[in-house]
Amino acid sequence: MISIGMLGCGNIAGIIESQGGTMVKIAACYDKQSQRMESYAQRTRAQQCTDFDSLVEKDYSLLVEAASVDAVRDHLQAALTRGKDAVVLSVGAFSDASFLAKTRQIAAANGRRIYVPSGAIFGLDNIKVARVCEVDRLVLRTTKPPSALGIADTLKRVCVFRGTAKEAIQRFPRNINVSVALGLAAAVEPEVELWADPSVTANRHEIEATGVFGSVSITTDNVPSPGNPATSYLAALSVLTLLKNLDDPLVVGT
Ligand SMILES: NC(=O)c1ccc[n+]([C@@H]2O[C@H](COP(=O)([O-])OP(=O)(O)OC[C@H]3O[C@@H](n4cnc5c(N)ncnc54)[C@H](O)[C@@H]3O)[C@@H](O)[C@H]2O)c1
């Protein structure tokens, strides 16, 4: 059973608690909202930590970040330096190329690994072929209800953004996790389209790629997680799956 330290005790942490079962032991936890941390620690019997330094000192091998981009920026490098591998959900932090390069360097210097789960999309495994072959088109088309994009209600489906992932991150910083994860997997910056559609209730992510391998088109329709409508349930399931498979000697998928 893998022993983890939980950074962030919100919705995803709650799903790891309720569905992690016998595959995950939550050894310690920290959340900047102390009541959340205390309640989570009581329920899971994890050690309570009143700050990040205390969390990183505890005995476990893997830090699971399910907190925020700021938490990644503030704490990930320290965790790697202190001998922890890490799972990073708030992958938007890696849109900062210099932060990513420095973090990679620290992980390598300390013999540590950083795991980015597939999160809210399917297809992230095989899109990695773009690292070894030519891919001439990679598009991410995301459709959300207008409110989820922070814009006024519209009567019909409208495209609110079309451009590079880098530009998308500047204009819509709350919608960056998927585009950053896709760009990291492929090592190619995707073209991004964001659509507001009053008729949808769930978030839809469409990935289209063409290259020497042929072409692919994948649509993921996400249901929201019970504890946080902004987070897709699939993202939480994908972390659980990653944790379950970490110590399996048979690795399936690219
Ligand atoms: N990679 C993906 O595809 C994907 C998908 C969904 C969510 N996410 C990201 O995962 C993260 C967690 O999602 P969630 O639904 O559990 O969110 P949540 O809001 O339910 O829980 C986050 C918890 O982290 C705590 N927190 C935030 N910043 C912190 C910090 N600096 N130090 C300590 N605690 C901190 C908050 O107080 C909160 O309790 C979010 O950043 C979200 O954007 C990623």
CA of 218 to the centre of ligand 1 (A): 26
Is residue 205 part of the annotated active site? The answer reads yes
Question: CA–CA separation, 94 vs 166, rounded Å?
Answer: 11
**Residue range(s) of every CATH 3.30.360.10 domain in the chain:** 126-222
Measured from the CB, is residue 236 less than 6 Å from ligand 1?
Answer: no
Could you name the CATH architecture of 126-222? 2-Layer Sandwich (3.30)
Mean confidence (pLDDT) of the chain: 94
CA 36 to ligand 1: nearest atom: 39
Of 50, 4, 2, 59, the C-alpha closest to 30 is: 50
Of 129, 134, 74, 66, the C-alpha closest to 103 is: 74
User: Token match 């209730």: residue?
Assistant: 201
Q: Could you tell me what percent of the chain has a pLDDT over 70? A: 100
Measured from the CB, is residue 14 less than 6 Å from ligand 1?
Answer: no
Q: How does residue 51 score in pLDDT terms, banded at 50, 70 and 90? A: very high
The CATH code of the domain at 2-116+235-245 is 3.40.50.720
CA 120 to ligand 1: nearest atom: 3
Radius of gyration of the chain, Cα coordinates, nearest whole angstrom: 18
Question: Three-state SS for 49?
Answer: coil
CA of 66 to the centre of ligand 1 (A): 4
Residue among 72, 89, 118 to mutate when testing ligand 1 (max atoms within 8 A of CB): 89
Residue 248 CA to its chain's centroid (Å): 21
> Which residue puts its alpha carbon closest to atom 3 of ligand 1?
119
**Residue range(s) of every CATH 3.40.50.720 domain in the chain:** 2-116+235-245
87-117 tens-digit pLDDT: 999 999 999 999 999 999 999 999 999 999 9
Tokens of 190: 């995707």
156-214 tens-digit pLDDT: 999 999 999 888 888 887 778 899 999 999 999 999 999 999 999 889 999 999 999 99
pTM given for the model: 0.95
Contact between 19 and 240 (Cβ < 8 Å): yes
CA 227 to ligand 1: nearest atom: 20
Output the CA torsion 95→97→100→101 (10° steps): 170
Measured from the CB, is residue 119 less than 6 Å from ligand 1?
Answer: yes
